[in-house]
Structure 1
Amino acid sequence: MVRNTEEAVDTQSNRTRSRSNTTRRGFIAGAGAVGTVALAGCAGTIGSGGGDNETVTMLLTPDTPADVRRRYKPIQNLIQGEVDGIDVEMQVPQDYSAIRPALKSEQAEIGMDDITLISNPDIMDVYGTAVTGGSAFYFSVMMTNSDSDIQERTDIEGKTMAFADRLSTSGSIFAVYALKEAGLDVGEAPDGDPVDFEGSWSNHEVALEKLGNGEADAATTWGGNGIAHIPKDTEVPSRVDDKSSFLDTMGDESPKFRPFWWSFPIPKQPIYARKSWESPKKKEIGDVLVNSDAETVEQYYPEDYDEEELPFTTIEDTSMDTYQPVIKRLNDLGIELGE
C-alpha cells in the first residue's frame, strides 16, 4: 500500500541542523546491509548478519530500489541505534506478490504493505499504521497533462492509463475500482487487461514517466509521488487539504500534471512482523517504532538526508478494521491473494 507503500513529514525550512555520523549509542549512520535482493523467484541471499547480532530483514515497498532504500535509511538507523544486538537489512522486493512468500518462508521479519497484511492477517502481528506530518492517511490520484481533454474518469475510455504495481493500493487497486465505479469496463484488471481502455502496470515513478513522455494519456499514483508534479495553487478537495501531509511539495517537480480525480483518505501503510518470529527483539523494535517522533528519528538522518524523504515518524495504533476499504475493493475486483 505503504511507498507499500507512502508520505513525508512537513518541511521545516527555517530549521537548521548539525548532523553527525554517530548517535547517542555510538551507531554509525549508514551502517547495515543494503544489498539488492530480488525476492521474487527466491533470488538472492537474505539474513547474513554480522558477529553475534541477530539479523532482522525488513521488506520495503516495491519501487525504485535506490530511492526507497534512501527514504527508509533513518528508520533502519533508528532501529539499529535503539535496539542492541541486531543488524537490520533493508530489502526491496521486485513486486508485492513476493512479500508474503518471503515472510512465510522466514526469509524476512518485518513488512509494511497493506496488501500482504490483509491477505493473511493470521500470520502477522501488527505494530500499527505509519504517521507522517500528523496524518495516518494518504491519497490515490489520477493525473493527466495540462493540455489533455481528460476532465473526469469516464474520459479515460479509449485512452491509455499508466498504473503502478498491480497490487499497489493507491497506484492500481483504488484507481481500477474507481474507473469501474464510474461505469467503465475494467475487464480483468488489474490481473488482466481492461476493456474500455488500455492499461500498463509498472511502479509509481515509471507511471508518471510514461505520462510525461507521451506513452500514456493519464497515470495514477499516490499523493506523495504525484503532488509535487501539480502546479502550485492548484485547488484540491477539502479532504485532501485536511489530511494530506504532502501539499507543501506542490510544484516542486517537473513536468507538471493536472489532477482530475482524488480518492477518499486511505490508511497509510501498516508496519507488521511475522507471527512466527520468536525473539525478544520483535517487541523491542515495535516499542521503538511506536514511541518514536520526528525529533528522535532526526538524530538518525544520514548526513545529506532531506526530511521531505522520510516515510514516517511514528505509528498509530490500528486494527484490521482500518483496512476494510482496501478489502472491499480487492473483493469487488476479484483479486485473489491466497496461495
Structure 2
Amino acid sequence: MVQKPDCGGSTRRTFLKATSGVALATGVAGCIGATDDGAVRFVLNPAEEQTDILEEYTPMKEYLEEETGATIDLTRAGSYVETLEALETDQADIADTSPTAVPAGEGFADVLGMRTAFGGALYFSTIATTPDSDIEELADLEGGLITTGARMSTSGTLAPSVMLSEAGIDIGDFPEGDANDLEIRTATDHDTSRERLVNDDDIVAAATGAFASAPQIPQEQFDEYSEFVEHSAEYDDAGSDLEDGEPELQLLAVSDPLPRAPIMARSEWDDPEREDIEEALLAAGEDDLIPDDVDEDYELWFTGIQDADQSDYEPIQEILDELGLEFQDFDDDE
C-alpha cells in the first residue's frame, strides 16, 4: 500500500494492493477525509449506480450534527477498497461500506449497524429471463449468454455466480475470468443488466438485485420463496411496474438472504462523539434520513439502521470463499 503523508499508517499486515493514489469526487487535495477542524470524518462508498451520494447523505449528516453536536465532514472515496483503506489508515472515523468490506475489516473496523429498507435488513439477488424464452431453470442457461451487474457487485454478480455454480453450471474463473459453461457479460449496474435482457435477443437471462427486477416480475412468482416473502422489502412492490406497461420478466431463481450494507467505524476511534453518533444512527427514522423536502432524485436507498456486528456478514464471507475472492479484488472495478 502506498503510504500517504500525514494520513496515519497501518499497524497490521496490509490487505490491499499498492495504489497510485486516491481519487476524490470532492476535489479535496491530500488525504481522504482530511480535516483541520476536528470534525468527524465520514467517508462514503462510491455508488454502483450513477447517483450523487454526497447529496443523498446530507440529510443524515445534518441529522447527526443536530442530535450529537458534532461536526461531520462527508467525503466520497474513489473505490470500495479505498473506503475501507481510509478506516485502516486513520483517514476516516466512520464509513459507508459494502457488505464485502466487513470480513476484510476485522481487527481495525467495527460494524456500527446494518442499513435497512422499509424495515428489511436482508435483501436478495434474482436471475430472470423473459416469458417467451425456453429457459425454465438455471441449468437451462448452459451454453447461453447472460448478463449480470457490475463485476464485483454482491447482489448483481457475486451471489448469482454462486447460484449458477450450485445449479451445476461451471462458471470457471468468473468473475475474475471467463465462465466455462456459458458466456457472462457484466454491466455497469443492475438496471443496465435488466435492460440488456429486454433489449438484446441474444441474452437469455439477467442477474440483478431484486430491487431492480421485482417490479417487473409478477408477485406470485416469488411465493415459493418463503424467505423472500417474509424478509424482502421488494415483495410488496413485485409486479407493480407491469401496470405501467413495462416488459414482464420471468423469475428463474432467488438467492439466499444477503445482509444489507453496514455503517462501519475505525476500531481505534474513541472520541466521546462516537457513542453519541452510534446511538443517533440506531435511533434514526425514515423521516430523519429522507426528509419530506428532499428531491426524490437524491433520496437515500435505505430508511433506517439496526444494530449488527461482524457475525451478521458471515454469508458474505461464504460467497467470497466460494468464488475464491479477496477484498483487494474489488479495487479494479470501482
**Deviation by residue 1:130-150 (Cα, 9 ceiling, x = unmatched):** 223222111111112222222
Q: How many matched pairs?
A: 297
Matching of residue 311 in structure 1 with residue 301 in structure 2: yes
Give the structure 2 partner of residue 227 of structure 1: 214
Q: CA deviation at 1:107?
A: 4.0
Kindly tell me: are residues 127 and 146 of structure 1, through their superposed partners in 2, closer, same or farther at Cα, counting changes over 3 Å? same
Task: Indicate the SS of the match to 1:42.
Answer: coil
Which region of structure 1 is more displaced relative to structure 2, 132-141 or 74-83? 74-83
Give the structure 1 partner of residue 23 of structure 2: 43
Task: Indicate the SS of the match to 2:327.
Answer: coil
Matching of residue 133 in structure 1 with residue 111 in structure 2: no
Give the structure 1 partner of residue 263 of structure 2: 271
Whether contact under 8 Å (2:160, 2:207) holds in the other structure is: yes
Q: What one-letter code is carried by the residue in structure 2 that aligns with 1:227?
A: A
Kindly tell me: are residues 143 and 327 of structure 1, through their superposed partners in 2, closer, same or farther at Cα, counting changes over 3 Å? same
Q: CA deviation at 1:196?
A: 0.8
Kindly tell me: are residues 138 and 289 of structure 1, through their superposed partners in 2, closer, same or farther at Cα, counting changes over 3 Å? same
What is the CA–CA distance in structure 1 between the aligned matches of 2:167 and 2:20, rounded to whole Å? 34
What is the CA–CA distance in structure 2 between the aligned matches of 1:151 and 1:67, rounded to whole Å? 39
What is the CA–CA distance in structure 2 between the aligned matches of 1:97 and 1:217, rounded to whole Å? 32
What is the CA–CA distance in structure 1 between the aligned matches of 2:21 and 2:249, rounded to whole Å? 36
What is the CA–CA distance in structure 2 between the aligned matches of 1:216 and 1:76, rounded to whole Å? 42
Give the structure 2 partner of residue 153 of structure 1: 138
Give the structure 2 partner of residue 293 of structure 1: 285
Give the structure 1 partner of residue 165 of structure 2: 180
Give the structure 2 partner of residue 333 of structure 1: 323
What is the CA–CA distance in structure 2 between the aligned matches of 1:327 and 1:158, rounded to whole Å? 29
Whether contact under 8 Å (1:65, 1:92) holds in the other structure is: no
Whether contact under 8 Å (1:58, 1:91) holds in the other structure is: yes
Kindly tell me: are residues 302 and 53 of structure 1, through their superposed partners in 2, closer, same or farther at Cα, counting changes over 3 Å? farther
Give the structure 1 partner of residue 238 of structure 2: 250
Q: CA deviation at 1:197?
A: 1.0
**Structure 2: tracts of 5 or more residues without a match:** 1-18, 330-334
What is the CA–CA distance in structure 2 between the aligned matches of 1:41 and 1:219, rounded to whole Å? 35
Amino-acid identity (%): 29
Q: TM-score, normalised by structure 2?
A: 0.77
Q: TM-score, normalised by structure 1?
A: 0.76
Q: Please show how residues 94-105 of structure 1 align to structure 2 within 5 Å.
A: 94=79, 96-105=80-89
What is the CA–CA distance in structure 1 between the aligned matches of 2:210 and 2:324, rounded to whole Å? 25
**Deviation by residue 1:69-124 (Cα, 9 ceiling, x = unmatched):** 56545434433443324234252645x34432343344443123110111232121
Which region of structure 1 is more displaced relative to structure 2, 329-338 or 261-270? 329-338
Whether contact under 8 Å (2:64, 2:70) holds in the other structure is: no
Which region of structure 1 is more displaced relative to structure 2, 243-252 or 122-131? 243-252
Q: What one-letter code is carried by the residue in structure 1 that aligns with 2:296?
A: Y
Give the structure 1 partner of residue 4 of structure 2: none
Q: Please show how residues 50-89 of structure 1 align to structure 2 within 5 Å.
A: 52=37, 54=39, 56-60=41-45, 62-66=47-51, 72-89=57-74
**Structure 1: tracts of 5 or more residues without a match:** 1-38
Q: What one-letter code is carried by the residue in structure 2 that aligns with 1:317?
A: D
**Deviation by residue 1:17-74 (Cα, 9 ceiling, x = unmatched):** xxxxxxxxxxxxxxxxxxxxxx99522334466x946152331353123265565454
**Deviation by residue 1:144-186 (Cα, 9 ceiling, x = unmatched):** 2222222211122112222223332211221111111111111
Whether contact under 8 Å (1:153, 1:179) holds in the other structure is: yes
Whether contact under 8 Å (2:53, 2:76) holds in the other structure is: no
